[in-house]
Amino acid sequence: MKLKIAIAQIDIALGEPKHNQQTVAYYAQKAAEANADVLVYPEMWNTGYALTELGDLADNNGKDSQALLSKLAKQYHLNIVGGSVATKQANKFYNTMFVFDALGQKVSEYNKLHLFGLMNEEKYVSAGHAVNTFDLADVKSAAAICYDIRFPEWLRTMMSVGPQEILYVVAEWPIQRIEQWQIMLQARAIENQAFVVAANRVGRDNNNVFGGRSLIIDPLGRILQQAGDTQEMLLIGDINTDDEQAVRGEIPVFDDRRPELYY
Ligand SMILES: NC(=O)CCC(=O)C(=O)O
The structural domain count of the chain equals 1
The pLDDT tens digits for 69-83 are 999 999 999 999 999
Give the helix, strand, coil percentages of the chain, each rounded to 5: 35, 30, 35
Ligand 1 surroundings by CB, under 6 angstroms: 43, 116, 119, 146-147, 150, 172-174, 177
To test the ligand 1 pocket, which listed residue (44, 146, 148) has its Cβ within 8 A of the most ligand atoms?
146
| Beta carbons within 8 Å of 172's beta carbon, 6+ residues apart | 12, 42, 43, 44, 48, 49, 119, 146, 200, 201, 208, 210
Cross-strand partners of 9: 233
What is the structure's pLDDT at 215?
A: 98
Contact 229, 199 (CB under 8 A): no
Q: What is the CATH number of the domain that holds 197?
A: 3.60.110.10
| Residues lower than pLDDT 70 in the chain | none
**3-state SS, residue 126:** coil
Of 60, 3, 74, nearest in space to 241 by CA:
3
Ligand 1 centre and the CA of 2: distance in Å? 31
3-state secondary structure 23-34: HHHHHHHHHHHC
To test the ligand 1 pocket, which listed residue (96, 118, 205) has its Cβ within 8 A of the most ligand atoms?
118
Q: What is the pTM of this model?
A: 0.97
What is the structure's pLDDT at 168?
A: 98
Going by their DSSP bridges, the two strands 195-200 and 215-217 should be labelled as antiparallel
What is the structure's pLDDT at 118?
A: 96
Domain that holds residue 17: 2-261
